[in-house]
Amino acid sequence: MLLRKAVSARCGVQGGFSVALKCNPRFNSGSYVRTVGAASLTKQSATLHPDIGKVLYTQEQLEECLQRLGSQIGRDYADKHVVVIGVLKGGFMFCADLVRHIHPVPSIMEVDFFKASSYGSGMETSGRVKLDSGFDISSLSGKHVLVVEDIVDSGLTLTNVVALLESKGHASSVKVCTLLDKRARRKVQFEADYVGFTCPDEFVVGFGIDYSEMYRFLPYIGVPTEAAIARVAAEADSTRAARMRRLVEDNEVFVSDDERGKEGETAQRG
Ligand SMILES: O=P(O)(O)OC[C@H]1O[C@H](OP(=O)(O)OP(=O)(O)O)[C@H](O)[C@@H]1O
Ligand code: HPA
């Protein structure tokens, strides 16, 4: 029989983000169990990452949001055959959590992922959206598609994704659920069907959302400090520059003076 001796611990992070945790000593090195709600809090939830200056949405707020969206979507798709498509990479965590909260469960619910990327390693959209060519669009025919995204910013990614699914997918319907809607940044008009939070015009990370591939793992959403942004940009620059130098030294690529200039320009933008 398991010895269930729960030890309460109170942990706090910036901005009143404070949660009561229970730690089961049987699983020693800090296996935390949440005192309320269904999802488990990890040790990370209780500790603010040093690169994060401000938490915008705590794990508890995200949990409430998942429950709200899960009920809305469950109601709307109750008797339908739905294919939930998470947009990679940023949508991986939100999509995985969302499907577990959809209630009632639709008649048939498939889950798939689709790679779309436009930000490269920087903080500004490149405006060019690369869509994954390996995805079998014909499999969507006659089904209801729900695209799940972490954030709508300029609106370019989802405009392209939805246009592609509508023109080539022959789905019965295509709707979009986004965790964050940063309306102030729109470059094209785009309205999501389900929105978690309307997000302020700040560069956010966490819960799947990255800056130069960093911070996707955070269980909350926050804003990185200026020092962290500068450090990560410098690291990305030196990695890119080192890769370029290696390729040139190994004679694997010929880089024209023009291209060297562009590389420098990209590096400055981070
Ligand atoms: O509305 P938009 O301006 O198009 O921005 C939104 C997109 O930007 C981010 O993806 P990113 O290109 O950074 O790729 P990732 O998902 O692999 O992180 C995010 O995950 C969205 O897909
Ligand atoms: O605020 C953001 N953070 C990270 N990636 C993004 N892609 C669009 N907006 C953002």
Over the chain (270 residues), the average pLDDT of each successive run of 10 is 31 34 34 41 78 96 98 97 96 98 97 80 63 79 96 92 86 97 96 98 97 96 96 87 70 56 38
Same-domain pairing of 172 and 90: yes
Q: Is the same domain home to 148 and 132?
A: yes
Distance 115 CA to ligand 2 centre (A): 16
Distance CA 128, CA 110 (A): 29
CA 209, CA 87: separation in Å to the nearest integer? 11
Look up residue 56 and give its two tokens. 């915008």
Q: The tokens of 128 are what? A: 């060019």
pLDDT of residue 72: 98
Determine, yes or no, domain membership for 194: yes
> Do 217 and 237 reside in the same domain of the chain?
no
Give the pairing of strands 52-57 and 32-34.
unpaired
Lookup: tokens for 250: 């190994």
> Hey, whose CA ends up nearest to atom 5 of ligand 1?
153
Question: Ligand 2 centre from 51 Cα, in Å?
Answer: 16
- Nearest ligand to residue 211 Cα: 2
Mutate to test the pocket of ligand 1, among 93, 94, 114, 151 (most ligand atoms within 8 A of CB): 151
Q: For residue 157, what are its two tokens?
A: 């990614």
Kind of pairing between the strands at 108-117 and 81-88: parallel
> Measured between alpha carbons, how far is 133 from 131 in angstroms, rounded to an integer?
6
Point out the ligand nearest to the CA of residue 204. Answer: 2
According to the model, what pLDDT value does residue 121 have? 61
Protein residue closest via CA to atom 4 of ligand 1: 157
Among protein residues, the one whose CA lies closest to atom 10 of ligand 1 = 117
Q: Note whether 192 and 123 are same-domain residues.
A: yes
Q: What is the H or E stretch that residue 237 is in?
A: helix 226-249
Question: The domain containing residue 232 runs over which residues?
Answer: 226-269
The atom number, within ligand 1, closest to the CA of 119 reads 12
In angstroms, the CA 207 to CA 99 distance is 15
* Distance, C-alpha 226 to centroid of its chain: 21
Of the ligands numbered here, which is closest to the C-alpha atom of 149?
1
Q: For residues 35 and 125, state if they share a domain.
A: no
CA–CA distance, 87 with 162 (Å, rounded to integer): 11
Q: Is residue 256 part of a domain?
A: yes
Q: Which atom of ligand 1 is nearest to the CA of 187?
A: 3
Peptide bond into 182 cis (omega under 30): no
The verdict on residue 264 lying in a domain is: yes
Would residue 2 count as lying in a domain?
no
Half-sphere exposure of 157 (CA within 13 A, CB side): 31
> In terms of domains, do 97 and 75 share one?
yes
Tokens encoding 74 = 């469950």
42 is a domain residue: yes
Q: Which of these, 167, 162, 147, lies nearest to 84 by C-alpha position? A: 147
Exposed (0-12), middle (13-18) or buried (19+): which is 102, by Cβ within 10 Å?
Answer: buried
Pocket (CB within 6 angstroms of ligand 2): 119, 151, 153, 203-205, 209, 211
Note whether residue 151 is domain-resident: yes
Spacing, Cα 49 to ligand 1 middle (Å): 22
- How far, in Å, is the centroid of ligand 2 from the Cα of 215? 12
Query: Domain count of the chain?
Result: 3
Q: Residue whose CA is closest, atom 3 of ligand 1?
A: 154
Task: Judge if 206 and 100 occupy the same domain.
Answer: yes
- Mark whether 215 and 231 lie in a shared domain: no
What is the Cα–Cα distance from 153 to 182, expressed in whole angstroms? Answer: 5
Both 201 and 236 in one domain: the answer is no
The tokens of 140 are what? Answer: 């969507």
Q: What are the catalytic residues?
A: 153
Which tokens in the block code for residue 137? 């669009």
Distances (CA, A) of 104 to 22, 35, 109: 30, 24, 11
Q: So what's the pLDDT on residue 255?
A: 55
Q: pLDDT value at position 164? A: 83
CA of 209 to the centre of ligand 1 (A): 8
Q: Are residues 72 and 148 in the same domain?
A: yes
**At 148, which amino acid appears?**
V
Query: For residue 1, is it within any domain?
Result: no
* Structure-derived torsion over alpha carbons of residues 48, 50, 52, 57, reported in degrees to the nearest 10: -10
pLDDT, position 96: 98
The CATH code of the domain that includes 130 is 3.40.50.2020
Residues touching ligand 1 (Cβ under 6 Å) are 87, 89-90, 116-119, 125, 149-157, 210
Structural domain includes residue 156: yes
Within this chain, do residues 232 and 204 fall inside the same structural domain, yes or no?
no
Q: One-letter amino acid identity for 200?
A: P
Contact call for residues 114 and 143 (beta carbons, < 8 A): no
Residues 192 and 87 in one domain: yes
